[in-house]
Amino acid sequence: MSQSLKTILSLRELILGGELKSGERLSELSIVDRLGVSRTPVRMALVRLEEEGLLEAIPSGGYAVRHFSEADIFDAIETRGTLEGLAARLAAERGPSPGQIGEIKGCLRKLDVLVQHEAGADTFSAYVELNERFHQLLIHMAGSRVVARQIERAVALPFASPSAFVEVQAVLPESRAILLVAQEQHRSVVEAIERREGARAEALMREHSRVAHRNLVMALGHQNARDLVPGMALIRQSA
């Protein structure tokens, strides 16, 4: 593994874990001391994490840990939903190959099995994996590098990911119900795409992203749930 990649991963973990407080200026040398790599890979990592949205450039030079308001997270989720809606519409309009449809239907079936059974400890991690896979397949069906890239950037923010709040669901009583609704949306989107119903596919995918929004509100409510969301330490009252 390259030093740059190692630095990126370490820094991201430190930021999301809340060990680097938001608003705090990150000096390159302090990171050098902390991680034991030279300044060059540190600088690389800082640039990439700024593009990723976790850091913000200070006008006079250097970087600071970015902080987010609840509204920012709401908007990030809405943005992802809008872009995934675009992907779903394009997939429907362009008509994916039978192979792609078969693949995503297979993914649906596996998700069905998980959702039907009662939730266990490792069931959720399997669900996260399959859920991510479903979203990946859907993006792939749109058949556009440009759209895929844009979505990649949108989900780079930790709480914008389709699976950001799944861990939270695990501790909530409504979790089964939410999962069932989400899975129904998955199924409906695939159906819409298969029938070339672009507008329906788009609307469904947008609405699907809003389960994350509901989960956000719940996560902010229950203090014990906050710790389960990656990057929750970055949230401040002020924008």
- Residue numbers of the site for DNA (CB under 7 A)? 2-4, 25-30, 37-41, 43-44, 58, 60-63
Place of tokens 């820094």: 11
Q: Which entry of a second copy, DNA, none binds 41, CB below 5 to 8 A by partner kind? A: DNA
* Closest distance to a second copy from the beta carbon of 179 (Å): 27
Q: Closest approach of Cβ 125 to a second copy, in Å?
A: 28
Our CB check for DNA shows the closer of 3 and 185 to be 3
150 binds, among DNA, a second copy, none (CB under 5 to 8 A by kind): a second copy
Distances (CA, A) of 103 to 83, 89, 111, 152, 211: 22, 18, 13, 21, 24
Assigned token pair, 150: 């844009």
Q: Using alpha carbons, list the distances in angstroms from residue 12 to 15, 17, 71.
A: 5, 8, 22
Best CA proximity match to 155, nearest among 52, 1, 16, 21: 52
Name the residue nearer to a second copy (CB basis): 96 or 170.
Answer: 96
Which residues would be at the binding site for a second copy (CB under 8 A)?
A: 43-44, 47-48, 51, 53, 71-72, 75-76, 78-79, 82-83, 85-86, 90, 144-147, 149-150, 153-154, 157, 239
Q: Which does 154 bind (CB under 5 to 8 A by kind): DNA, a second copy, none?
A: a second copy
Which one, of 24, 26, 69, lies nearest residue 46 by Cα? Answer: 26
| Encoded tokens for 126 | 């399997």
